[in-house]
Amino acid sequence: MIRIEYSEQSELLAGRQVLARPCEDFFRDAILEVSPRCSGPEDWTLSLAPSLMFDSSGLLLLINALKEYSGPASEIRFRLALDPDAYRDYYSLGPESVHHLRLLLPVTARRSAVGSSGSATLDIEFDYCTRDLEFPSSLADVRRMNTPLALLMECHGEFDILFANQVAIFSALARDLRRHPLAWAKAILSRRRGSWKQRLGLAYTRIHPDADVHPTAVVEGSVIAAGARVGAHCVVRYSHIGERAELSDGAKVEFSVVGPGSWLMHDLVIFRCHVEDEVFLIHGPYQFSCFQSRSAAFATIMMDYRPDAKPIKAMTDSGLREYHGGFLGSVLKEGAKSLGGSLLSPGMIIPGETWLAGDLASIHRPGRLNLPQRQPLPASFDGRDSQDCPADSQPVSRRIA
């Protein structure tokens, strides 16, 4: 018999969410889901640290490794054997003591059998969802994304919760597809381009009967929870939409989680984002970013890319660290608001209840009397440099034949 010991969450995880549910509920249900698989000939106690983020697929990897172990050790540690691309995109903000892509997990198994002694370390390997992301050559080279199909990740900072939700989307999709024969039938009949796995993933949808999804909306590889509203011409792809979430007409959500009661306004785009509950987003797009409970963003530029190709730096519980993935946005903590005209550098974390705004002196507002007057353009329309123009010259207008 394998007993799972998990008592509390770390301070970083308290109040946070995975797949639009409080971490406490998500982790507890993962343990309950694997309980029938915990029978075995030997007694083990599997202790999970408060900083560990996991789902049922991740727990099964640990349980199966224990069942297959036949050595004499009384104590077992577990180590992730990571693919280089998965390490780069999901784990590179973790501990610096990673050797040969082997990452020690905060998990210990102890055996109560008489005569056992010593310790051992077992390597855990993921299955992956593999996809090549193609970009314009002016932006970046083709990048291979290897997303683990199980969640086992230690939380070292705010961005790890974003990464955990990215993994959880695909891990849950892989589990759901095993018991969804209709998706298999749709994938077989599909005429879409792409690999079999891509067609199968896109063929899956789970829409709650109480959700309101407009007939023109496109929902692929996604879950829509009770009371959610998806407006006309919305696109929801490889995402999880929580209860009572509002997607106004034209909103597009890809590889993202939208929490309960959050609002995404008309034509907003979010890509690889984690949105918790009661969040308000308008104007966008927002990418590779995390919006905690009751945060909001209005016409904000959240930079997620460094054109000089240098690593993006982000804050973790061990200080400022370099992120080795290509793209990383910002985190707005609880109650933070980023107002129109704000510009955030990659890897930024906005403290809770903070309100960001652009330079007030540059805002044209009612009552302002010193509005800019008409001035000559800095360069003429006929290609001449402005330095060649007389000081009193007026803007040159050209009629296009």
Q: The domain spanning residue 225 has which CATH number?
A: 2.160.10.10
Q: Are residues 136 and 107 in the same domain?
A: yes
Q: Are residues 173 and 49 in the same domain?
A: no
Please check whether residue 374 lies inside any domain of the structure: no
Given this model, what pLDDT does residue 396 score?
41
Q: Which structural domain, as residue segments, surrounds residue 288?
A: 168-356
Q: How far apart are the first and last CA of the chain?
A: 84
Q: Are residues 207 and 333 in the same domain?
A: yes
Q: Are residues 56 and 106 in the same domain?
A: yes
Given this model, what pLDDT does residue 137 score?
82
Kindly state the tokens that stand for 84. 């280089």
Q: Are residues 267 and 329 in the same domain?
A: yes
Q: Are residues 142 and 191 in the same domain?
A: no
Residues sharing a CB contact under 8 Å with residue 336, sequence separation 6 or more, in sequence order: 292, 295, 296, 350, 351, 352, 353, 354, 355, 356
Q: What predicted TM-score, i.e. pTM, was given to this entire model? A: 0.89
Q: Are residues 118 and 191 in the same domain?
A: no
H helices of 298-397, in order, are none
Helical (H) or strand (E) element with 182: helix 181-189
Please check whether residue 350 lies inside any domain of the structure: yes
Domain count, the chain: 2
Q: Which residues pair with 18 in a beta bridge?
A: 21
Please check whether residue 393 lies inside any domain of the structure: no
Please check whether residue 401 lies inside any domain of the structure: no
Given this model, what pLDDT does residue 385 score?
47
Please check whether residue 343 lies inside any domain of the structure: yes
d(CA 207, CA 223): 6
Residues making up the chain, counted from first to last:
401
Please check whether residue 378 lies inside any domain of the structure: no
Please state whether beta strands 319-323 and 312-316 pair in parallel, antiparallel, or not at all (unpaired): antiparallel
Q: Are residues 238 and 116 in the same domain?
A: no
Please check whether residue 386 lies inside any domain of the structure: no
Last residue in a domain, options 100, 133, 157: 157
Rounded to 5°, the CA angle 276-9-40 comes to 115
Given this model, what pLDDT does residue 138 score?
82
Q: pLDDT tens per residue, the chain (401 residues)?
A: 899 999 888 999 999 999 999 999 999 999 999 999 998 777 899 999 999 999 999 999 999 999 999 889 999 999 999 999 999 999 999 877 677 789 999 999 999 877 778 899 999 999 999 888 888 888 888 888 899 999 999 999 999 999 999 999 999 999 999 888 888 888 888 888 888 888 899 999 999 999 999 999 999 999 999 999 999 999 999 999 999 999 999 999 999 999 999 999 999 999 999 999 999 999 989 999 999 999 999 999 999 998 888 899 998 888 889 999 989 999 999 999 999 889 999 999 999 999 998 877 777 778 777 777 776 655 544 444 444 444 444 444 433 33
Given this model, what pLDDT does residue 51 score?
95
Q: Are residues 39 and 188 in the same domain?
A: no
Kindly state the tokens that stand for 348. 């930024």
Given this model, what pLDDT does residue 369 score?
75
Q: Are residues 28 and 47 in the same domain?
A: yes
Please check whether residue 265 lies inside any domain of the structure: yes
Q: Are residues 148 and 251 in the same domain?
A: no
**In 3D, which of 162, 221, 167 has the Cα closest to residue 58?**
167
Given this model, what pLDDT does residue 210 score?
97
d(CA 293, CA 309): 32
Q: Are residues 92 and 232 in the same domain?
A: no
